[in-house]
Amino acid sequence: MAAEREPPPLGDGKPSDFEEQEEGEDLFTSTVSTLESIPSSPEPISLLAEDVSTNSNGPKPAEVVLDDDREDLFAEATEEVSLDSPEREPILSSEPSPAVTPVTPTTLIAPRIESKSMSAPVIFDRSREEIEEETNGDVFDIEIGVSDPEKVGDGMNAYMAYRVTTKTSLSMFSKSEFSVKRRFSDFLGLHSKLASKYLHVGYIVPPAPEKSIVGMTKVKVGKEDLSSTEFVEKRRAALERYLQRTVKHPTLLQDPDLRQFLESSELPRAVNTQALSGAGILRMVNKAADAVNKMTIKMNESDAWFEEKQQQFENLDQQLRKLHAHVEALVCHRKELSANTAAFAKSAAMLGNSEDHTALSRALSQLAEVEEKIDQLHQEQAFADFYLFSELLSDYIRLIAAVKGVFDHRMKCWQKWEDAQITLLKKRETEAKMMVANKPDKIQQAKNEIREWEAKVQQGERDFEQISKTIRKEVGRFEKERVKDFKTVIIKYLESLVQTQQQLIKYWEAFLPEAKAIA
């Protein structure tokens, strides 16, 4: 297979449509044959790992993505018919075995497709191009907002419903602006679906906001106080950031689960996300098992890049945690400052009242007013400290955990490959033994097993290389995003500091003549 294909031209902005199409056809036919050997694996596994790996360091990420996913789309189309992954059933069963006609991209430009099912691959083609354009031009034309938290229901069954609004010009969506109502467990359900599909093949899936039993209970019970409003606001902002990060990921954006989440008015309730459900407990057990495994896997790292990156992420994690702790302290102290300023303002007002020199009394009352306004200022600044700076850091601490998880998956993948190699060796030994013992029927069985395990070894190697490749790409994208994110948010934060100082200047300038007027 590798021999027949020509790699897409390197250094080209866009590979020519014609070439793509050819590739598409070839790949499609080849995918069918390799299908059986693949264990239940979700769509994005590029079945043509070996082709692409030849181009590993050359082409721009966008290009490569284009190839992979294009093939993926076709792969997906056939895969769903034969594979049996439980998670995907509810969502994808609606898509029938498609009329997969490799169409030239040019013809796709015209019609805005209405019925999704028929033209799934077509849409994907079109949007893939769009996406490529957009990533190259650095414009992602999709905006997500999470707003209007609303309490639904009563008592312990109550929950908060959030409005998720999407504004986009991407044609894969049927409308350009739409909104749906979602609850927190829906978000968790989305994340769990995406994670199960993409994490173990090396994609960095943004983590969902954390659950908080205490916070939610307060809301359910109906405590209408400051802390529960703050909690809801914190969660709303976190959910918005989560969705924004998820749609920025070109592969995840393509996922039908994500689209369904954004678009469909009714979503099946994601019960598996509850902490105490069967699935929840299974998750906890798996996590524990994973942790143990991690300690026992000793991988021979042949690629220094991975080792280096892992170390870098480890350092980054530590530094971010330290910084986060300091910023949290700042938020706390600023809130304290605000409370103390308010208390002082009241006290100064009282003092002004009891002062019997009229001009001084007036000035003290003015001072009390200024301090009250400053207290407001401190409160607002504390918000900015938190929502901009502190939350950015905690988001990234969790993201880095996801990155580390992806590296761990690669290790597991390697382990699997290793194990297959060891088993193959054992089978070969068995065969040799049988040969010596001259048992023809057993020899045949041994030969069959050897063939089976040879294929598994090959697959293991392919998987490993694929995941390594994906990780490299993902890490590159992640680093770019990280740099952009930090710069944007920190600049916004500094601007909030600027605003505070400008207000301070205004207040004190107004007070100064009052103070001078004391005669």
Q: Which is nearer to another protein, 288 or 332 (CB)?
A: 332
Residues contributing to the site for another protein (CB under 8 A): 312, 315-316, 319-320, 322-323, 326-327, 329-330, 333-334, 336-337, 340-341, 343-344, 347-348, 350-351, 353-357, 359-360, 363-364, 367, 479, 482-483, 486-487, 490-491, 494-495, 497-498, 501-502, 504-505, 508-509, 511-512, 515-516, 518
Nearest approach in angstroms of CB 341 to another protein is 5
The structure tokens listed for 438 are 């001259």
Q: Which is nearer to another protein, 164 or 364 (CB)?
A: 364
Burial class from Cβ neighbours inside 10 Å (0-12, 13-18, 19+) for residue 127 reads buried
- Cα 455–chain centre separation: 33
Q: Which is nearer to another protein, 396 or 414 (CB)?
A: 396
Asked whether 274 and 185 are in contact (CB, 8 A), the reply is yes
Nearest approach in angstroms of CB 359 to another protein is 8
Q: Which is nearer to another protein, 12 or 308 (CB)?
A: 308
CA distance 104 to 102: 7
Q: Which is nearer to another protein, 69 or 385 (CB)?
A: 385
Q: Which is nearer to another protein, 117 or 354 (CB)?
A: 354
Residue among 153, 245, 141 at smallest CA distance from 190 = 245
Nearest approach in angstroms of CB 346 to another protein is 8
Q: Which is nearer to another protein, 140 or 507 (CB)?
A: 507
- Cα 210–chain centre separation: 14
Asked whether 476 and 312 are in contact (CB, 8 A), the reply is no
Q: Which is nearer to another protein, 109 or 497 (CB)?
A: 497
Nearest approach in angstroms of CB 333 to another protein is 4
**How many other CB atoms sit within 10 Å of the CB of residue 23?**
22
Nearest approach in angstroms of CB 459 to another protein is 34
**How many other CB atoms sit within 10 Å of the CB of residue 402?**
16
- Residue 186 makes CB contacts below 8 A (sequence gap 6+) with 261, 267, 269, 270
Alpha-carbon torsion angle 334, 339, 341, 345, nearest 10: 160
Nearest approach in angstroms of CB 473 to another protein is 16
Q: Which is nearer to another protein, 359 or 425 (CB)?
A: 359
Burial class from Cβ neighbours inside 10 Å (0-12, 13-18, 19+) for residue 326 reads exposed
Nearest approach in angstroms of CB 479 to another protein is 5
Nearest approach in angstroms of CB 336 to another protein is 5
CA distance 444 to 433: 12
CA angle 148–149–153, rounded 5-degree value: 130
Nearest approach in angstroms of CB 210 to another protein is 23
Asked whether 21 and 102 are in contact (CB, 8 A), the reply is yes
